[in-house]
Structure 1
Amino acid sequence: MTVPALKILMVSETLPARQLGGLAKHAVTLANTLIDEGHEVTILGLAGQDDDASRREMGFKGTVIGALALMPGWKEGLLGCFNPFKRLYFARQMAQTIAAHAPGFDVVHYHGNLPILAAFVPDHINFVQTRHDQGIECLVHVRFKEGQVCTSTDAADCAACATPFPNALQRMMSAQAVKTYRQLATQALRKHKTIFVSQAILGNAQRVLPASAFTRAQVVHNFIDEHRVAQAVDSSPTLSSTTSPPGNPQVIIASRLDDAKGVRQFLAEWQRVGHSGARLIVVGDGPLREAFESEYTSSEVTFLRHQPYTTTLQLTAQSQISVVPSQCEEACSTTILEALFLGLPCLALNRGGNPELARYQRWPGQLQLFDTIADLVAALRDRLALHPYAHPPTERTSWTNSDVRAQLPRILHVYEN
């Protein structure tokens, strides 16, 4: 069935930006594909961020309206507790901004960090939000604490994410903030349609919120633009051959550099056990980049910092193995999808949405999942020592179901219903 051309307002406070994370890439990929399919898409994003550098990084084909405000800290770090009113206040503000720009659009699609705003978006607006992380139930969005995946559902336990050793008052304030937030999240999901990018993050939300909150929710996996990925890789003059380059094998990690992403733990274990002459390149930026560079840079480990998306794809295609060492529960990793499509073996941890991505393998065993970083590094070292280049040949022109166009009909169905 042909869907009539729609006018779509794509909303995200992560855009425009000079460095795009997975959430922002998802939103821009979807927006550009909708435009290619004949729909009209406008991005409603942050005020004052729409400069040439951000435009180049985004690669968005449509119009950007800068009207959203960043959510400041409200001194939560200084006070050592989550503020029960902070997120409610900014959700109301953002909902008002959305309502002011919504007239004339057939659908408003939100990709961002404040899921409770849907509770304040008027009923008459055809509003959809996509949840890319665990922000429905977790105020820091990642359910990761003290170097481990957080499994607690008790709101009082969340106080330790505001300050390491909360006193009784801080614990009470944070607990109230989390309870209020979860109540509003329940209202938000009941009021408007929600897409989760993996069954894993939907399942985590279902542990905390009542079943009645999910009657308008469904799972549509994250995706990549496989055509764009193939074009970026094939346009590189260094990738004219389909065979692996001579010399030492290259392993790539493309990741944000913080504790939850597990890069430090991987590098420490990699350094401890040795690396069989392989070259490791780390692409990405984050709050711990300088510390990682200082501690782990060597003749075998190179930090390339943030790179344009096309360059990162080319570096991935030039590598022999991709490693995604995230310690947190990844929702539905774009990096894994890219590696699988490009025909690289991909090693990651067996948590979050990672197991669901096995359906996008080019051959059985392309995605290898491990319980610990130590197990992952041991398997990587064994693989490199035995036969670093052995994996079945693949055709990048053979599109898979991880392509945005494969998922687009389901998203359009959500818009239309």
Structure 2
Amino acid sequence: MKILLAHNFYGSAAPSGENQVFELERAMLARAGHDVRTYVRHSDEIRGAGGFGLVKGAVLTPWNPATARGVHRALAHFAADVVHVHNTFPLISPAIFSAVGTGAARVLTLHNYRLFCSSAIPLRDHRTCTECLDGRSVMPAVRHACYRGSRLATLPLALSVALHRALRTWERHVDAFITLTGFQRDLMIRAGLPAERVWVKPNFYPGAPVSTPWSQRRDCVVFAGRLSEEKGVALLIDAWGRWGAAAPELRIVGDGPLRKALEARASTGAGRITFLGQVPASASEEEIATAKLLVLPSICFEGFPMVLREAFAFGTPAAVSDLGPLPRIVQHGRTGLVFRSGDPAALLAAVRAAWEQDDLGRMSDLARREFEEKYAEAANHQQLVAIYERAMALQKDRLRS
């Protein structure tokens, strides 16, 4: 199969799971023998240009004519069967889909909710918010200044959402949408996507990862991710403070805008908390692989967190909040724990009970088994090719009609 993969890389200063998924899928498809080419842009192109770069990014977010020309030229030299797009924001723009025309099947992976949510993360004032998705309107986003707390910054994104609703881009120019979970699929269909073209394919872990034997693991719990509001790390620190001196070490991997505030918060509690900062991906994976529990206390809807596919790959149980797709990914009492979102007492009760009852070793074995069945590379490749084939069949039906 001949496949053109398209992606707008986020800024190099901030690690991105979307960037990682793009690279992993590109390598997976190449290993499987497909002819893979790429069309990419980088947000660094505008971040280094100061105010002019910000204006350029805003103007091009709804529609970038240069993308249309570039993709058209690329396809003139590479007759792709499938054009698979990951992220269009801000420099590729949805113009790529009409540029492809009917010459190839068009597939879009939804790593977040940006198709209908200007902030991409349905979170406002410390709570989930789906006003724009449920009402199929961008006015709440503009009114609440949902992108970076600025109405001016929100306008280009809101315009893009409204424009492509009006043009019916998603109905007319995309043959298959890939969501990361069934929860996300349901929400995006409710927001307006055609149900018969929305498929679920989770993230995967490549190769054959080795699970650390339970007896060789450290008596610690790990959080790995961006230290920002939506990740709920403040709640985790509060729970550890309540647990006190009997708590196992909590190791926090990652960086972000709340790091200093979180370190100050942790310093007032009795629990052992270590901030490791931003570390290489291999070191982060080592932390997860050798811990006895991963905690993900998100207070917003996630896609499919990369740290969860790592936890499954290494047989590390995960404790997650009961929000969005997380309780569908992690089965309470089987592959991990589920606790009430936004409640440090509920988090503490769930984790402490499993820790003191020494029940996590059993969950470790089940998590690894789940990985082999759902999140290994071979299974993921089969799922992705099946979606491509459905998209190609739909494209051919459209040409005949």
Cα distance change on mapping 1:214 and 1:302 into 2, 3 Å: same
Structure 2 residue 362 is matched with structure 1 residue 391: yes
Give how far 1:220 is off: 2.5
Which residue, out of 334, 339, 347, partners 1:370? 339
Q: 1:220 maps to what in 2?
A: 200
- Structure 1 residue runs of 5 or longer lacking an equivalent are 1-5, 50-67, 234-238
Structure 2 residue 183 is matched with structure 1 residue 188: no
Q: 2:62 maps to what in 1?
A: 88
The 5 Å alignment of 1:268-287 reads 268-274=238-244, 276-287=246-257
The 5 Å alignment of 1:157-236 reads 157-159=140-142, 160=144, 161-162=146-147, 177=159, 180-181=162-163, 183=165, 186-193=168-175, 194-209=177-192, 213-214=193-194, 217-230=197-210
Cα distance change on mapping 1:221 and 1:72 into 2, 3 Å: farther
Give how far 1:183 is off: 1.1
Distance 1:388 1:348 in 2: 16
The 5 Å alignment of 1:11-410 reads 11-14=6-9, 17=12, 20-46=15-41, 87-90=61-64, 92-102=65-75, 103-106=77-80, 107-114=82-89, 116-123=94-101, 124-153=103-132, 154=135, 155-159=138-142, 160=144, 161-162=146-147, 177=159, 180-181=162-163, 183=165, 186-193=168-175, 194-209=177-192, 213-214=193-194, 217-230=197-210, 242-245=214-217, 249-274=219-244, 276-296=246-266, 300-358=272-330, 365-372=334-341, 373-374=343-344, 375-387=346-358, 390-391=361-362, 394=365, 399-410=372-383
Cα distance change on mapping 1:195 and 1:14 into 2, 3 Å: same
Cα distance change on mapping 1:172 and 1:142 into 2, 3 Å: closer
Conserved? CA contact 2:30–2:36, under 8 Å? yes
Tell me, what secondary structure is at the counterpart of 1:399?
helix
What TM-score results when the alignment is normalised by the length of structure 1?
0.75
Cα distance change on mapping 1:313 and 1:72 into 2, 3 Å: same
Cα distance change on mapping 1:183 and 1:386 into 2, 3 Å: same
The number of aligned residues is: 370
What TM-score results when the alignment is normalised by the length of structure 2?
0.78
Deviating more after overlay: 24-33 vs 363-372: 363-372
Give how far 1:204 is off: 1.9
Distance 2:309 2:372 in 1: 12
Give how far 1:324 is off: 0.8
Tell me, what secondary structure is at the counterpart of 2:83?
strand
RMSD after superposition: 3.7
Give how far 1:294 is off: 4.0
Instruction: Give the structure with the higher percent helix.
Output: 2
Give how far 1:186 is off: 4.0
